[in-house]
Structure formats: C-alpha cells, structure tokens
Structure 1
Amino acid sequence: MRPVRLCAVSAALAAISLAAVSGCAEKADAGGEGAIKVTATDDSCEVSRKTFPAGHVQLAVENKGSKVTEVYVLYPDGRIVTERENIGAGTKAEVTAEIKAGDYEIACKPGMKGDGIRQKVEATGGGKPAKRDPKLDAAVSAYRDYVLEQAELTLPKAEKFAEAVKAGELEKAKKLYAPSRIGWERTEPVAESFGTLDPKVDLREDGLEDGQDPEKDWTGWHRLEKSLWKNKKITTTDKKLADQLVKDLTTWQEKVGKAEITPTSMANGAKELLDEVATGKVTGEEERYSHTDLVDFKANVEGAHKSYELLEPVAKKNDAALVKELDTQFAALDELLDTYREDDGKDADEYAFTSYDEVGKDERKKLSDGVNALAEPLSKLAAAVVK
C-alpha cells in the first residue's frame, strides 16, 4: 500500500533520489487546451470546470501548497476512477482518464491523509463509452483475466500463510509471508479502486489516520509481519487477524472480476505501481521487519509490465518512440533486479531475493535510478493510448 509520506521525509531519502518517480519532481508544465485545471493548496482544491464532456478527460494538476498532495477522481460511493499521488509542493502533474457520464468528486489530499478536500463535478453526455480502438477493448478483457488469475493464485497462498500463523508455526509463517503477497502486489491499483479494501489488507502502521488505534484498527499483512519478525511471537490476536486477512482477500477475489477497468486506468495503474516501488520498496519502508522488499518490488514491476504489454500495440502505433524507450527501461530494470535473485528464477511465484537490509546505500541508489528511468516514460502511456 502507498505510504503516507512527505516528499522530503529525510536526508536519507533525498540521498537516494526518489523524487523523480513521485510527483515531487514532476516539474513539466501540465495540461493542454481543454484540460481541467486542478489547483491544490494546503486548504483548498479548486477546479477550473465543474462540468465537462464524458470521454477522455485530462486533469492538469498544480500543487501550490507546502505539502505533498494527491488528487483523485472518485465515484459518489468513494470508489476510485483515477488518481495521481505524491505531487510535491510547487510541482505539476498531468492525468489522462476515461470517464463515463455521471456525477463524481475531485479530491485533493494535502499531506496525503484523510478524505481530502472535495469538489463535486459532472461528466455530461449520453453515457456512451469513449470511442476506442478495438485492440484496447481486447487489452482490457485480457487484463481483467490477468487480475482475476492473480487473485485466484493469491488466495490459496494466503490461506497457507494463515494456517501457519494459526498453528503457531513462526518460521513456516515467515517463509510463506512474501509469496502470499505477490499476486496482490502485481495488481494493487485494482484493489485500491475498491476504497476500504486495500487499507484492511495492506496498511502499514505509519499509514493509520490520526485517532486510529494500532491495536484495534490495524489489520492485514503488515500487522502480522510485525508480529513475526519484530515481536517474534504469534498471539491469539494474530490468529484472528490471519482469519480476517483470508476473509478480506476472499472479498477481493469476488470483486476483481467486476472492477471498472479502462485502457487509461491500466496505464495509470502501471505508473502507480512504479510509485509503489519508489515510495516503499526502494526505501525499505514497505517490508521494514521482514526485509522482503525486493519480492514486492519485482511483483510491482511485473504488474506494470503486464499492463504495458497489453497496451503496447496501440501505444506503438501512436508513439513508437515512447514504446522503444519503455522496452529499453523495463529490460534494464528487470536485469538489475535479477542480480539480487537467490534462486534460479524458474518459479515466478516462489522466487527468493536478497534480504533488503543487506542492500547498501549505493545499490539502493542504482535501484532508485532504474525506477526513475522507467517511471518518467511510463507516465506518458495513458496519453499515448488515447491519441
């Protein structure tokens, strides 16, 4: 799950240069003619238009506040249409999304916490979907199958992990922890679109909102991670949490087949997965107790690549230079990650990587640079597929 963080959290993060992946360094001018301008400050969220035609919509976001922010387009029930996180103070970002006719909210979240400052907006039109290349419909269908497959692969692994926790088998539970997360990490943007499900399953302790109690309100993988690696014991509460994790992942499995998926949500989701790597995996914050960050890292990159792979035929027709750059940067990052493998890599779900606490500062900088080099062209994929 994406952490709650500021762009300049510490000198240590600055040293490994994560800003270029997050919105913290998105300095390019955002928005062309027809874009909806979203101006965020520490206490406001202004939009240039409250009504706009349904179809392919571009948001030109500028953060004039002092805090890092994120911007969401939300359905009335809180589900996510599209988002852009980690937009640093004084920077701009651009988001392209496919939006059907209907009522929505645009939300800015200063400090990346809470429900945000919201503006009601309306996409007008007859409710027809945006015109798209038939190849994109095929890409959406194939991606939906992929997401469902990942959920179906994850649930039995999570059940085995939960069984080990409930049996009090500490070392076995540790071994099963990282493999149980791979399918989730590959497809997390889809899970996040459901609103409350992601915080229940994948929340880190520092992601709790003000007033939430870690003992009562913190559930999911990372709560159990802390018990297994830091506390080094399994409690009665942990056993209940293991059951809750399986229950929540079962809900995820039931929902993913009905998720709202569009070509732009696939492309934006790929970028979000790279942001996940930048703000949690490269820093070592995501798996701070287990140090299995590189397993998550690899899964995030695999998920991003799957979205890109399915969209590539249309993107190549519209922007061949972008596709060439993406092919180069995906290959380079995969090659770099593979240097940290500790097995032969034959089983993509069970591979082992170097414990991240053994990866030094200079090596983390190289990983960060590899993520940066991929994230910049990947941020242009959504616009490329709707040209």
Structure 2
Amino acid sequence: MRAARLSVVTAVTAVTALAAVTGCTSKSDAKDGDRVIGVTATDSTCVTSKKEISAGHLELAIENKGSKVTEVYILFPDDRIVSERENIGPGTKQRVTAEVKAGDYRIACKPGMKGTGIRQNLKVTGGSVAERDPRLDKAVAAYREYAQEQADATLPLVATFVKAIQAGNLEAAKAAYAPSRIGWERTEPVAESFGDIDPKVDVRADGLEAGQTWTGWHRLEKALWQDKKITATEKTLAGQLTTDLTDWQKRVGKAEITPTSMANGAKELLDEVATGKVTGEEERYSHTDLIDFKANVEGAQKSYELLKPVAQENDAALVTDLDKQFAALNTLLDKYRPNTSSYAFTSYDKVGAAGRKELSDAVNALAEPLSKLAAAVAK
C-alpha cells in the first residue's frame, strides 16, 4: 500500500485509463501536439498546457521540475480517481496515454505523494471513443468476472482472520492474516478507483494523512507481530475491516474497466511490488511480503493474458518479451516456496540483500515491457 494509490478503473460514468508508454500516441485521433497536454510539476505548482480538449485519446507529457517525487492524477470533481502515475522522480519525464469521455475532470500533482494535490481543471468536450476490437470487450468482461470472484473469495478468508482476533487467538490470527489478503492484492487497483476504501483497509502507518485514524490490515498486523497482543481495540478494528471489505465486494461490480486500464493496472501492480514488497515495507511486521508479491504478479499476469491475443497481433515482439519476463519472475519466486501448489513462502526477513536485489532486477525487467502493453492494445 502506498500513501497515494493508482486506479485502473473508473466509476460507471466514465471511460479511462492511463497507461505507461514512451513517446506514443493512440490511434489516428492524436495528431502531432493536438492531443497532448503538458503537465509541469514542481514542489508548489502544477501547470497544464491545456484546460480543454475533445473526447477521445489524449496524451499527458509530464515533467517533474521539483525536488520531490510526485504523482499526477486525473480525478472526477468528487475526487474519485480516474487514474494516476506515481513515483515521478525529480528531473524526470513520463508520457502516458488516456481515453476519456466528455465531462469535467481535474489534473492534480501531488509533490511528496501526500495531501490532496495541486489541481487544475480539465474540461473534456463532445466527441466519441472509437469502437474497439470485440476481443477486447471479451477481455474486459472476463477481467470483471475475475475481480468479482477475487472479492467474493476474500470475504470468507477475512471472516476466519477476524474470528481468530475476536476469540483472542494470536497464533490463529497470524496464520489467517496473509491468506485473507491474496484476493485484494491480485485486484488491488480496482478498489482504488473508489478512493475511500483503500485508505481504510490497506494503509501503512507512514501512509496516513493528517488526522486519519489508522485502521485495516496493517494496524492489526502490528498488533499481532510487534505488540503481540489482542485487545478490545483490535477486536473492534477487525469488525471494521469486515465492514469495509464487504463494501468493497459490493462495489466491485460498479466499476467500469477498460482494456487500457487493465494494461495500466498490470504495470502498477508491478510498481506495487517494486515500491513495497521488494523493500520489505509492506509487511514490515509479519514479513509475509512474498505472498503479496506473488498475488500482485498473478493479478498483473491475468490482465496480460486476457489482453494477449490483441497485443500479439499488434506487437508480437512485446508479447515474446513479456512471456519471457513473466516466466523468469515466477520461476524466481518459486525458489522461495517449497510447495509450488501452496502460498507458503519464505519469511521475507530471511531473504538477504543478494536475494532482494535479484527479485528487484526481475521485477524491473518485467515492468519495462509491461509499460508498453497499453499502447499495444490501443493501436
């Protein structure tokens, strides 16, 4: 979990997705600079080159001229997340494509990846998004079903976790903790589009905003592994976790998912691994990071496999590379679980510096070509 989250889906009122691409515009509706919005971010400003653009494909050309790592968001007026690009380092540039329908949006820069951001209005006027390949509609339908299945399967596992906490059974709660998170980690970006669920259930202590009460899995993780006790507070928090995740389960079906958002989300799941799991920050008390790691990779690979037929046709070399890198990363992960049919992984505090670097290198090797998947399916 990051202090600020990526969304790969939108609410039903819009079609979206940002996807990491390098110097690439989408389809014939992007002519030269007509469809490009420049975003210049500093530590105190967020300047956009356009305030209005017609519906369809557009491109954000982002440059961070500040001294802090920043994020750039596209938001609805009510703060629902359309999509974002995180970890834009000082002095770096990123180009991302988007597909939007007519409506009002906000472009927000978040220096330091904190707070509500510095915002600029963006008005998207009339126009239409071109009809897409029927195979992509099939991929979207299959991914929607997958996301719902993961949410549905999570609730019984959470119930086991919560039951152990409410019974005061420390060891049973520890055993149930990581399994209860797998479905969430596989489809995590879906929840982030709603904005309010992720901060309740998956925030870390260092990701809290001013005035925010710490709730969710990681608050309970700390109690179980560091504090080594279950009090009335933890029992109450466990009940709240059930409530919040039930809300997530019910809202998954209200999210609109697009092919580009699926591809973008796959890349962001790899970024989740790079910024949280490989570093050991995500599960800093339980050291169950490799379980989350595997679930993130599985979620990314699911999106890829569903989009693969179209990507193969548009960019066969990219598909060859992605197949190779997914296989290499999965093989490496299998070194850390004795039984590949189970989710019993080595405790991450037992993975030394050399092993962590090897994992990091494999993640980066996959993330780079994965950033091109959205462009491949948008052709």
| TM-score with structure 1 setting the length | 0.89
**Whole-angstrom distance in 2 between the partners of 1:209 and 1:47:** 26
1:79-122 deviation line (CA, Å, top 9, x unaligned): 11111100000001122222111111111100000000111101
8 Å CA contact retained: 1:4, 1:111: no
The alignment status of 1:374 with 2:366, answered yes or no, reads yes
- The Cα of 1:47 is off from its aligned counterpart by 1.1
The alignment status of 1:103 with 2:99, answered yes or no, reads no
Question: Residue 188 of structure 2 aligns with which residue?
Answer: 188
Number of corresponding residues: 358
SS in 1 for 2:224: helix
**Whole-angstrom distance in 2 between the partners of 1:244 and 1:109:** 29
**Whole-angstrom distance in 2 between the partners of 1:298 and 1:105:** 34
How does 1:110-129 map onto structure 2 within 5 Å? 110-126=111-127, 128-129=128-129
How does 1:1-150 map onto structure 2 within 5 Å? 1-3=1-3, 33=33, 34-126=35-127, 128-150=128-150
How does 1:317-356 map onto structure 2 within 5 Å? 317-342=313-338, 344-347=339-342, 351-356=343-348
- The one-letter amino acid of 1:376's match is E
**Whole-angstrom distance in 2 between the partners of 1:271 and 1:304:** 7
SS in 1 for 2:299: helix
How does 1:234-383 map onto structure 2 within 5 Å? 234-342=230-338, 344-347=339-342, 351-383=343-375
1:153–1:227 CA distance, 2 compared to 1 (3 A) = same
**Whole-angstrom distance in 1 between the partners of 2:182 and 2:308:** 24
1:284-342 deviation line (CA, Å, top 9, x unaligned): 00000000000000000000001111111111111111111111101100000011003
- The Cα of 1:30 is off from its aligned counterpart by 7.9
Question: Residue 9 of structure 2 aligns with which residue?
Answer: none
SS in 2 for 1:165: helix
| TM-score with structure 2 setting the length | 0.91
SS in 2 for 1:241: helix
1:139-168 deviation line (CA, Å, top 9, x unaligned): 111110000000001011001100100000
- The Cα of 1:381 is off from its aligned counterpart by 1.0
**Whole-angstrom distance in 2 between the partners of 1:4 and 1:146:** 25
8 Å CA contact retained: 1:74, 1:82: yes
1:245-292 deviation line (CA, Å, top 9, x unaligned): 000000000000111211111111111101100110000000000000
8 Å CA contact retained: 1:271, 1:379: yes
The structure 1 segments of at least 4 consecutive aligned residues displaced by more than 4 Å after TM superposition are: 26-32
- The one-letter amino acid of 1:57's match is L
- The Cα of 1:77 is off from its aligned counterpart by 1.5
Question: Residue 15 of structure 1 aligns with which residue?
Answer: none
Unaligned runs of 5+ in 2: 6-19, 26-31
1:42-96 deviation line (CA, Å, top 9, x unaligned): 1111111111121222211111111000011111221111111000000011222
- The Cα of 1:132 is off from its aligned counterpart by 1.3
8 Å CA contact retained: 1:3, 1:280: no
- The Cα of 1:39 is off from its aligned counterpart by 0.9
Question: Residue 17 of structure 1 aligns with which residue?
Answer: none
Instruction: Report % sequence identity.
Output: 72
8 Å CA contact retained: 2:221, 2:286: yes
**Whole-angstrom distance in 2 between the partners of 1:35 and 1:316:** 27
**Whole-angstrom distance in 1 between the partners of 2:135 and 2:144:** 14
CA RMSD between the two structures: 1.7
8 Å CA contact retained: 1:56, 1:386: no
Larger relative contact order (Cα-Cα within 8 Å, sequence gap ≥ 6): 2
SS in 2 for 1:352: coil
**Whole-angstrom distance in 1 between the partners of 2:228 and 2:132:** 53
- The Cα of 1:28 is off from its aligned counterpart by 6.4
